[in-house]
């Protein structure tokens, strides 16, 4: 287990927090059925990370993007999806990472229906008619546990 230390004078005396691995079921529970996350892909210029509004449909992380975007051009390549929550007031945090192949999502009408039911629209605005999905082959996560 990794130990996370603060930067103040007391940080050198005792750990303030530690990270704990999460199992896949807990990772998926934390992600829920919709939210905000980031998709990371490789490009000719190096890695690119883009925020997305996502829905979980049949175990895959699905999101909308525009035609010709970095994410739509990454179809068929390995990608990562990451989401986290940090609540500094309550001293709680977690992070989940899913890795898989990015693909165009089938059955766009069903996805549009689910997005309408979930009351979610891409924050970035603009036309985003292309649904993409990342079906994970690996899901890992960590929770930060703070000590008093």
Q: Which domain CATH number covers 67?
A: 2.30.110.10
Count the domains in the chain.
Answer: 1
Residue 104 placed within a domain = yes
Residue 25 placed within a domain = no
pLDDT digits (tens, 9 = 90+) for 127-146: 667 888 999 999 999 998 87
* Nearest alpha-carbon partner for 81 in 105, 56, 106: 56
Q: Is the pLDDT of residue 90 over 80?
A: no
Give the span between the Cα atoms of 138 and 98, in whole angstroms: 6
pTM over 0.75: yes
Give the span between the Cα atoms of 71 and 75, in whole angstroms: 7
Residue 113 placed within a domain = yes
Residue 44 placed within a domain = yes
The proportion of the chain whose per-residue pLDDT surpasses 90, expressed as a percent, equals 47
Between 131 and 28, the higher pLDDT residue: 28
Which tokens hold the place of 36? 């905000």
């Amino acid at each position: 287990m990794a130990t996370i230390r603060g930067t103040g004078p007391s940080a050198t005396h005792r750990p303030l927090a530690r990270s704990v691995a999460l199992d896949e079921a807990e990772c998926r529970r934390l992600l829920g059925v919709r939210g905000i996350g980031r998709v990371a892909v490789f490009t000719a210029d190096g890695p690119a990370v883009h925020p997305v509004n996502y829905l979980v449909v049949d175990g895959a992380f699905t999101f909308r993007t525009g035609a010709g975007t970095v994410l739509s051009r990454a179809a068929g390549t390995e990608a990562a999806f990451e989401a986290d929550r940090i609540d500094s007031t309550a001293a709680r945090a977690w992070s989940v990472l899913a890795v898989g192949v990015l693909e165009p999502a089938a059955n766009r009408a069903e996805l549009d229906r689910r997005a309408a039911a979930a009351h979610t629209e891409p924050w970035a605005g603009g036309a985003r008619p292309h649904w993409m999905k990342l079906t994970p082959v690996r899901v890992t996560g960590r929770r930060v546990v703070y000590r008093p």
